[in-house]
Amino acid sequence: MSDQTDHNSLEPAQSKDTSVNETDRDAVRRRRAIFLISASAALIVVGIATHWLLSARTKIPPTTRPSVPVSISVATRQNVPIDLTGLGAVQASLTVGIRPQVDGTLQEVLFTEGQDVKKGDVLAKIDPRLFKAALDQARGKKAQDAALLVSAEKDLTRYKTLALSDSIARQTVDHQQATVDQLKASIAADEAAIDTAQTQLDYTSIRAPSDGRIGIRSIDPGNVVHVSDAQPIVILMRISPSAVLFTLPARFLDDVRSALAHGPVMVTAFDQNNRQELSAGKLLLVDDAIDPATDTMRLKAIFPNDDERLWPGEFVNARLSLKTLGNVLVIPSAAVQRGPQGLFAWIVTPKDTAEPRPIKVGPTTGDLTVVTSGLSDGERVVTDGQFKLKRDAQVKVRVTSPPSPTSEGAR
């Protein structure tokens, strides 16, 4: 009986423990659900915030982009000279090496280095004694033959008289006639020898063959000079006028010949930097042949050079004026760009935005390019900063430079 009582008393205790465990499990489940809901809500909030920030960044209005700084120039109309420029060298209009024409000792030099001389001035003298002796000998030989001729002619006269009376043979007269003719020929040879000796004697005085300026003397008095010497005594040059020999590409041959057909073609000589004008002259000629190795032609221009700004051997830039294009639209060559579709230029619109514009161009002279189509007078073109531009990009004008009509050569 007591066992039954104990057994009945244990059942309510076990039921109580089971109820407590179920309550704990429900509480854990609720806390877990609350945590998951809270975490999901936090992730959703973070996602929404991230999406909003990214959207805000991608929706920056275009007007907030920084402006592109550029340099511009204005397309204008002006007269443009079409010039061709070639590198050349100055040549004296006359260059003569003063050399001896007879062998002998250089006895005297009568010029000063750097002196201006006139045609016929005596520049130097060679010892003349041997040549004077040869002249005297030739003159003596002529006098001897002349005396013999007088005697022979008298004999011939007598022989002819005697032959009329058959006092002498006809053969004697013919022989005497031959003697007279022979002496006449000898006298003619003597006269030629005299002229030769006189010429050689004259050659002992070395004279200037033309007006000009004496250079540096290379042989001093006292030296024996020969006709075959490679080195001249001195160089004589005439630098007023002077010539410039220069080259141009052969493709301009027709243009140059056409310009020559219409009248004198002006040529201006500039220094090696192509900045300072030295002298103005005229085109003299175009060489007869084109150099096939370089595909260039040689031209020669003549300059008065009264002020001696041009010096023989000096390298200069020869600018040949072909023609002048009147009232043409020009822009700086730096504004011309090349793209897949051809040539174009960046235009600055009235709203200060960039716009690419296809153009067609004519000749280029110096820093200017002639535009034949695609632009209008007064439009602004970008000359620097093009690589940062895009269509409709906002620009900020940094420098405005008008085209200048300088010409350094047409291409």
Q: How confident is the model at residue 17 (pLDDT cuts 50, 70, 90)?
A: low
Q: Which residue has the higher pLDDT, 72 or 14?
A: 72
Of the listed ranges 27-36, 366-375, 398-407, the least confidently predicted one is: 398-407
Would you list the DSSP string of 342-369?
EEEEEEE-TTSBEEEEE-EEEEEETTEE
356 pLDDT exceeds 90? yes
Which three-class secondary structure state does DSSP give residue 201? helix
Q: How far apart are CA 75 and CA 92, in angstroms?
A: 44
CA angle 115, 119, 122 (to 5 degrees): 70
Q: How far apart are CA 13 and CA 19, in angstroms?
A: 10
Q: What percent of the chain has pLDDT over 90?
A: 62
pLDDT of 2 reads 47
Which three-class secondary structure state does DSSP give residue 99? coil
Answer left, alpha or beta for residue 85, where phi above 0 means left and psi between -120 and 50 means alpha: beta
Instruction: Please report the sign of the dihedral spanned by the C-alpha atoms of residue 396, residue 397, residue 399, residue 405.
Output: positive
405 pLDDT exceeds 80? no
Give the 3-state secondary structure percentages of the chain, helix then strand then coil, rounded to 5.
35, 35, 25
Closest-CA residue to 343 (of 355, 361, 330): 361
- Report CA 116 to chain centroid distance, whole Å: 32
Of the listed ranges 35-44, 243-252, 380-389, the least confidently predicted one is: 35-44
90-116 pLDDT, tens digit per residue, is 999 999 999 999 999 999 999 999 999
Euclidean distance between the first and final Cα of the chain, in Å? 134
pLDDT of 7 reads 47
| Cα distances (Å, whole numbers) of residue 214 to 121, 217, 236, 283, 356 | 12, 8, 5, 28, 64
pLDDT of 401 reads 66
Q: How confident is the model at residue 10 (pLDDT cuts 50, 70, 90)?
A: very low
Q: How far apart are CA 48 and CA 45, in angstroms?
A: 5
